[in-house]
């Protein structure tokens, strides 16, 4: 099969590699689409993803795939041939290591029921946690748009993990695909006020369209002044939706007493000089770098219901759809910051 590979120098190429193998508790999937993740994929390319040292390259990239089940293992009951499923992965093989490998023509999903029927319990090393989130996509959803569901579920489960609730005040830094998803969901959930910041004017407009109460270009606005005008005592939450550790220090003068700074996504740096001299006496710092696949699976039904009810339109989160044959051009656009929202790679 063909797969997208990044080498140790950050160079991308499409390579031929071995088809993924699957066992009696798994199913083989033909990839239909895969979203580019501005965080994970970019950080793997630039060697900024914790846990992926130079010795692991070259890597198969991608983790936001959707595909069609074409074969099933003998114990599988949770999937059938023809099902459209989320999160097929291509595991490492004797040729290539894997950064989940979803930009491949084929991948594998795991059936939790089959593992448990075989006496393999959740929480043990033999039970792949990703199995919980490798769920079936309803027929009314376009498979090309369906990778967005993965981001939506990750964000909704993270909002719950952070503890953000209705009528909580929040300042959001970053209005890319993830930040906009946070804004949209928090608006739906009654979080108020939502104050959004970005450095691109178009993204400020997108944030307002997604439900932000206020949105500012942080290059032009005095961040502390704007937040304190709206919330004189500070906001209950500050969200870093970019993955930049310096936002933590920027957030210190913005949070209220007992406020929380929430960091979503893998940070490029694993250390920093933390200065809380401008923070209140009591505050919290919460990293959510790798959402639990089990928690993500629990968000699935709510996300699907919002899509079915028209509360969420997947197209609102997509700016580019590009064929797999042109995937290198898509990543070039990403590097040049020419992709405004989510870019989907399609395979048919």
Q: pTM here?
A: 0.94
- Residue 270 is predicted with a pLDDT of 76
Mean pLDDT of the region 237-252: 92
Q: What is the pLDDT of residues 284-318, one digit of tens each?
A: 999 987 778 999 999 999 999 999 999 999 999 99
- Residue 113 is predicted with a pLDDT of 94
φ, ψ of residue 69 in degrees (nearest 5): -65, 125
How far is residue 292's CA from residue 145's CA, in Å, rounded to a whole number? 23
DSSP letter assigned to residue 8:
T
Instruction: Give the rounded distance of the alpha carbon of 43 from its chain centre.
Output: 13
How far is residue 81's CA from residue 69's CA, in Å, rounded to a whole number? 5
- Residue 327 is predicted with a pLDDT of 98
Q: What is the pLDDT of residues 98-132, one digit of tens each?
A: 999 999 999 999 999 999 999 998 989 899 999 99
- Residue 292 is predicted with a pLDDT of 87
- Residue 283 is predicted with a pLDDT of 97
**DSSP per-residue string spanning 77-115:** -S--TT-EEE--B----SS-EES---SBSEEEEE-HHHH
How far is residue 251's CA from residue 264's CA, in Å, rounded to a whole number? 14
Copy the structure tokens of residue 301.
Answer: 């039904």
The model's confidence at residue 91, banded by pLDDT at 50, 70 and 90, is very high
Is the pLDDT assigned to residue 227 strictly greater than 80?
Answer: yes
- Residue 289 is predicted with a pLDDT of 79
- Residue 199 is predicted with a pLDDT of 94
φ, ψ of residue 62 in degrees (nearest 5): 105, 140
Mean pLDDT of the region 49-55: 89
What value does the mean pLDDT of the chain take?
Answer: 95
Mean pLDDT of the region 60-77: 97
Whole-number percent of the chain with pLDDT over 70: 100
Query: Counting beta carbons within 10 angstroms of the beta carbon of residue 151, is it exposed (0 to 12), middle (13 to 18) or buried (19 or more)?
Result: buried
Q: What is the pLDDT of residues 3-23, one digit of tens each?
A: 999 999 999 999 999 999 999
- Residue 114 is predicted with a pLDDT of 96
- Residue 266 is predicted with a pLDDT of 73
- Residue 6 is predicted with a pLDDT of 97
- Residue 261 is predicted with a pLDDT of 97
Mean pLDDT of the region 333-343: 93
The model's confidence at residue 272, banded by pLDDT at 50, 70 and 90, is confident
Domains and CATH numbers, the chain: 2-145+313-346 (3.90.180.10), 154-288 (3.40.50.720)
The model's confidence at residue 267, banded by pLDDT at 50, 70 and 90, is confident
Contact 215, 191 (CB under 8 A): no
Is the pLDDT assigned to residue 63 strictly greater than 80?
Answer: yes
- Residue 341 is predicted with a pLDDT of 92
- Residue 245 is predicted with a pLDDT of 84
């Amino acid at each position: 099969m063909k797969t997208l590979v990044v080498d140790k120098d950050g160079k991308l190429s499409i390579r031929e590699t071995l088809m993924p193998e699957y066992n009696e508790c798994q199913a083989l999937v033909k990839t239909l689409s895969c979203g580019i993740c501005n965080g994970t994929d970019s950080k793997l390319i630039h060697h900024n993803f914790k846990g992926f040292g130079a010795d692991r390259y070259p890597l198969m990239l991608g983790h936001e795939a959707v595909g069609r089940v074409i074969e099933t293992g003998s114990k599988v009951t949770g999937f059938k041939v023809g099902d459209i499923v989320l999160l097929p992965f291509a595991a490492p093989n004797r040729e290539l290591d894997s950064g989940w490998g979803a930009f491949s023509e084929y991948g594998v999903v795991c059936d939790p029921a089959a593992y448990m029927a075989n006496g393999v319990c959740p929480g043990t090393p033999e039970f792949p946690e990703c199995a919980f989130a490798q769920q079936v996509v309803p027929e009314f959803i376009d498979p090309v748009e369906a990778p967005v569901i993965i981001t939506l579920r990750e964000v909704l489960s993270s909002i719950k993990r952070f503890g953000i609730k209705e009528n909580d005040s929040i300042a959001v830094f970053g209005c890319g695909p993830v930040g906009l998803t946070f804004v949209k969901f928090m608006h739906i959930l009654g979080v108020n006020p939502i104050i959004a910041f970005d450095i691109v004017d178009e993204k400020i407009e997108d944030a307002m369209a997604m439900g932000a109460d206020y949105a500012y270009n942080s290059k032009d606005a005095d961040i502390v002044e704007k937040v304190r005008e709206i919330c004189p005592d500070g906001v209950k939450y500050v969200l870093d939706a970019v993955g930049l550790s310096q936002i933590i220090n920027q957030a210190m003068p913005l949070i209220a007493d007992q406020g929380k700074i929430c960091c979503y996504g893998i940070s490029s740096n694993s250390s920093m000089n933390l200065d809380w001299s401008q923070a209140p006496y009591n505050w919290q710092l919460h990293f959510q770098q790798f959402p639990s696949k089990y928690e993500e699976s629990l968000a699935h039904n709510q996300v699907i219901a919002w899509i079915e009810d028209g509360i969420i339109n997947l197209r609102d989160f997509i700016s580019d759809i590009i064929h797999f044959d042109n995937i290198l051009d898509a990543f070039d656009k990403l590097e040049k910051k020419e992709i405004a929202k989510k870019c989907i790679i399609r395979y048919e």
